[in-house]
Amino acid sequence: MAAKILVVDDDAHVQRMLSYALKQEGYDVLSAADGAEGFRLWGTEAPALILLDVMLPKMDGYQVAQKIRAEEGPNAHVPIIMLTAESDVEQRIRGLRAGADDYLIKPFHPAELLARMRSLLARFAPREVLVGRPPLGRVFAFYGAKGGVGTTTIAINTAIALHRELGRKVCLVDANLQFGDHRVFLDLGLDRKSIVDAVSAPTMDADLLRTVVVHHDSGIDLLLAPPSPETAELVTPAHMSQLLELLRTVYDYVVIDVDKRLDEVNLQTFDAANPIYVVMTADLSCLKNVRLVLETLAHLGYESDNVKLLLNRSNAFTGISVGAAEKALKRSIEHQILNEYRGAISALNSGAPVMYAKADSPLGRSFLDFARVADKQGVPADAGAPAPART
């Protein structure tokens, strides 16, 4: 479900502007024109975050914030961003003392508001989301059975869904080292640092990671592929193994968009993955490739329970049903993403992925449903143990 935002402001124009901007970002929006109504809606609707004007009739913003903080349970905390036209430092301090988590001076840019909201929503994720995290982050590897099945689209949107809707700390790795597309699909320039900057450093540690990863407006961090194909060979299998171990100590989830080559670098990725998602579509050539991929991974010693089939464009007409595909492969397809090809391509070409720009669309909800299921699936008992020897 989309996060519910409560806007408390007595200016109808501000209410409309904020409501429109937030709904465009996929949030559910509630509105109140006075402090008393805002407090009532907090109690009945349990919003995920409150945008609270200071100057309100019946009960001002300071009083609303104080009353909410006084009545919250010990394990509850709704983030509050106070909005005011006054830039006076004393008023800002008063708002923070009343219980506000952040403060914005009107007029403000919508992008700044959204960035602050996402940060607070991730920081104060509901307790049921935060409990049960593994001591080390999990690695999701997305591997396309063939080109054009949507592996990059799924990896990017899954990463954003895990962070934006579930409050996880996520790093997305573009492991298509020669021809990675994340710079294009996320509207990033060639001047951004990449995985080559990490492996070329004298020492690889958490401090180095902070200088190399790129923070995206969606809230996720990115470890980008090299800007030019010829530098891809600088990343060795040992580098990849070391990087993934380091990333697992910093992030809840490391989501990797894996190249289609089954070389040693990618096998190091598979060794760390839990699970490996083989992305497929329901057509004959792809089914043939999936069968070969499954046979190869089994031959290399990867447990079948750690290899999951993810059917993209599941409702597209190909002449092959899900049941027929499962019968041909002699195994179940664990996950499905629905077909909205034009929307997905349009989002990527604009540099604004579906889960970032249109999270409330059918495709966005499909990504979120997948992320929820993947997030809840437990870590196998042998997770973190050395990978089986490959033959």
- 352 and 229, same structural domain? yes
pLDDT above 80 for 84? yes
| Overall pTM > 0.75 | no
- 329 and 207, same structural domain? yes
pLDDT digits (tens, 9 = 90+) for 32-80: 999 999 999 999 888 999 999 999 999 999 999 999 999 987 778 899 9
- 115 and 144, same structural domain? no
Domains in the chain, number:
2
Residue 17 token pair: 């502007």
Residue 80: inside a domain: yes
Residue 55: inside a domain: yes
Q: Specify the 3-state DSSP secondary structure of 217.
A: coil
Nearest to 190 by CA among 229, 226, 221, 227: 227
Q: Specify the 3-state DSSP secondary structure of 186.
A: coil
Determine the length of the chain.
391
- Which residue type is seen at 266? N
Residue ranges making up the domain that contains 150: 138-376
Question: Confidence band (pLDDT; 50, 70, 90) for 353?
Answer: confident
Please say which residue of 124, 153, 184 terminates a domain.
124
Nearest to 155 by CA among 291, 355, 307, 2: 355
Residue 333: inside a domain: yes
Residue 385: inside a domain: no
- Which residue type is seen at 304? S
Q: Transcribe 278-340 into DSSP letters.
A: EEE-SSHHHHHHHHHHHHHHHHTT--GGGEEEEESSTTS--S--HHHHHHHHTS---EE----
pLDDT digits (tens, 9 = 90+) for 135-153: 578 999 999 988 889 899 9
Residue 387: inside a domain: no
- 207 and 148, same structural domain? yes
- 158 and 80, same structural domain? no
Q: Report H helices in 109-236.
A: 110-123, 127-130, 151-164, 182-185, 195-199, 206-212
pLDDT mean across residues, the chain: 85
Say what the alpha-carbon torsion angle 172, 297, 374, 328 is, to the nearest 10 degrees: 130
Residue 205: inside a domain: yes
Please say which residue of 124, 146, 162 terminates a domain.
124
pLDDT in the model for residue 9: 94
Going by DSSP bridges, is the β-strand pair 221-223/214-215 parallel, antiparallel, or unpaired?
Answer: antiparallel
Please say which residue of 124, 149, 173 terminates a domain.
124
